[in-house]
Homo-oligomer: A and B are copies of this chain.
Amino acid sequence: MDDIRFAVLGTGGIGRRTLEVSQHKDGLTAVAACDRNGVAVDHDGLDVGELLEATEGNIASGPDEASDSTPATPTDDYASDGGAAAVEGGGVKQHGDEAGIVASSQGEPTETPIDDIIAESDTIDAVLLALPNLEHDFIPRVAERFAEADYEGVLIDVLKRSRVIGMLDDREDLLKESGITFVCGAGATPGFLTGAAALAAQSFVEVEEVEIWWGVGLKSGYEDNRGTVREDIAHLDGYDIEQAREMSEEEIEALIDDHDGVLEFHDMEHADDVLLERAGICDAEDVHVGGVLDVRSDEKPTTTTVSVTGTTFDGETGTNTFELDDATSMEANVNGPALGYLKAGVRNNRAGHYGVFGPADLMPGF
């Protein structure tokens, strides 16, 4: 496949790490990036090293801390690497006019960063939307803007909110007309893990259950991911989103103390179910997502595992499993797959496959 020229909207944790990881991948050239105050465009390829270095100090808590490098807990309300904190500023956290991408020698200030990227998009094959999506329809509305400008290429997000997928589906005609291949939920979960589920399902002619179980250690990232933790609380037994939103900081701290810092989640609302159903792997109701968040340790409290149980053509029942090593950070598990799915998206786009695709749709025709 020819070289892929891609852009990143948002240079928060996800955007920055995508730029970083892309340097390790063949055939990927970063040509544009933006945050809320600026854009950097070089069609011959950005100097990613300079860009990351120049903007690094602008991140409030530094690269080793939460907003940049610590995974959020999975939640249906935030990006899957995730956490509001990581993307809240629409990119690098700001410290004055010169902060963010304009601190790079490649950065130019602008009032209209997204429009500026759209204006350059003729020669851009793929755009990673690493933007905050605090309003549910923000990402879908950005996609609309690209479609209205007749962008032909890939848009990709790492969100995990089921409802965003529906909103993208609502706009599918517009995306198709423009020639856009939208890959949604392409991070660790649903992306990586639903891809694994689609693969593991290949032993079976009938899949009975998919269980996705994650572990996240969030000690050093806790302060910057309070918003995410609050959202996760909505998934605890006896809580809902409304209750979680109304809790005071003190109430949340008390709750966490009650649980000794370890929160366990079952039957989370997660796009994995919708995405596996649309890929024809199993019924959405047979997909279960849960996990354990430890806010007092950076060690994962449990091993991230995908278990797929099904029946073979010869009548046996079995469970295939996919396990991620505890040493692999959630960031590593977001950005590698995201770039892989981005490549797959481009392959599909060049083949004229437009519309909305989940990660499992991009697996080998399963």
Residues of chain A at the chain B interface (Cβ within 8 Å): 1, 17, 20-21, 24-26, 69, 192, 195-196, 199-206, 280, 312-314, 316-329, 331-333, 335-337, 340-348, 350-353, 359, 362-366
Which residues of chain B have C-beta atoms less than 8 A from A326's C-beta? 318
A24 in contact with B206 given A313-B17, A327-B316, A365-B342 (CB within 8 Å): yes
The answer to whether B320 touches A324, judged by C-beta atoms less than 8 angstroms apart, is: yes
- The residue that A363 contacts in the complex, of B200, B329, B364, with Cβ under 8 A, is B364
Bound-state CA distance A202–B325 (Å) is 12
The answer to whether B321 touches A323, judged by C-beta atoms less than 8 angstroms apart, is: yes
The answer to whether B199 touches A336, judged by C-beta atoms less than 8 angstroms apart, is: no
Which residues of chain B have C-beta atoms less than 8 A from A320's C-beta? 322-325, 328
A-B contacts besides A202-B340, A318-B325, A342-B365, 10 pairs, CB < 8 Å? A24-B313, A196-B200, A203-B324, A203-B328, A317-B327, A320-B323, A320-B328, A323-B323, A340-B364, A340-B366
Bound-state CA distance A231–B195 (Å) is 35
Bound-state CA distance A347–B353 (Å) is 10
Cβ distance A334 to chain B, nearest Cβ, rounded Å:
10
Bound-state CA distance A321–B320 (Å) is 11
Which residues of chain B have C-beta atoms less than 8 A from A331's C-beta? 313-314
- The residue that A343 contacts in the complex, of B317, B325, B366, with Cβ under 8 A, is B366
The answer to whether A365 touches B351, judged by C-beta atoms less than 8 angstroms apart, is: no
Cβ distance A196 to chain B, nearest Cβ, rounded Å:
6
A318 in contact with B327 given A280-B26, A351-B350, A352-B351 (CB within 8 Å): yes
Bound-state CA distance A24–B280 (Å) is 12
A313 in contact with B21 given A320-B324, A332-B204 (CB within 8 Å): yes
In the complex, the chain B residue whose C-beta lies closest to that of A308 is: B325
The answer to whether A365 touches B347, judged by C-beta atoms less than 8 angstroms apart, is: yes
Which residues of chain B have C-beta atoms less than 8 A from A317's C-beta? 327
A343 in contact with B364 given A21-B205, A313-B21 (CB within 8 Å): yes
A364 in contact with B341 given A320-B323, A328-B203 (CB within 8 Å): yes
Greatest chain B CB density within 10 A among A195, A329, A350, A364 is at A364
The answer to whether B365 touches A343, judged by C-beta atoms less than 8 angstroms apart, is: yes
The answer to whether A332 touches B351, judged by C-beta atoms less than 8 angstroms apart, is: no
Cβ distance A275 to chain B, nearest Cβ, rounded Å:
13
Which residues of chain B have C-beta atoms less than 8 A from A195's C-beta? 199, 364
Bound-state CA distance A1–B196 (Å) is 21
Bound-state CA distance A318–B1 (Å) is 29
Cβ distance A357 to chain B, nearest Cβ, rounded Å:
10
- The residue that A329 contacts in the complex, of B312, B323, B340, B346, with Cβ under 8 A, is B312
Which residues of chain B have C-beta atoms less than 8 A from A342's C-beta? 365
Cβ distance A319 to chain B, nearest Cβ, rounded Å:
5
Which residues of chain B have C-beta atoms less than 8 A from A204's C-beta? 328, 332, 336
Which residues of chain B have C-beta atoms less than 8 A from A206's C-beta? 24
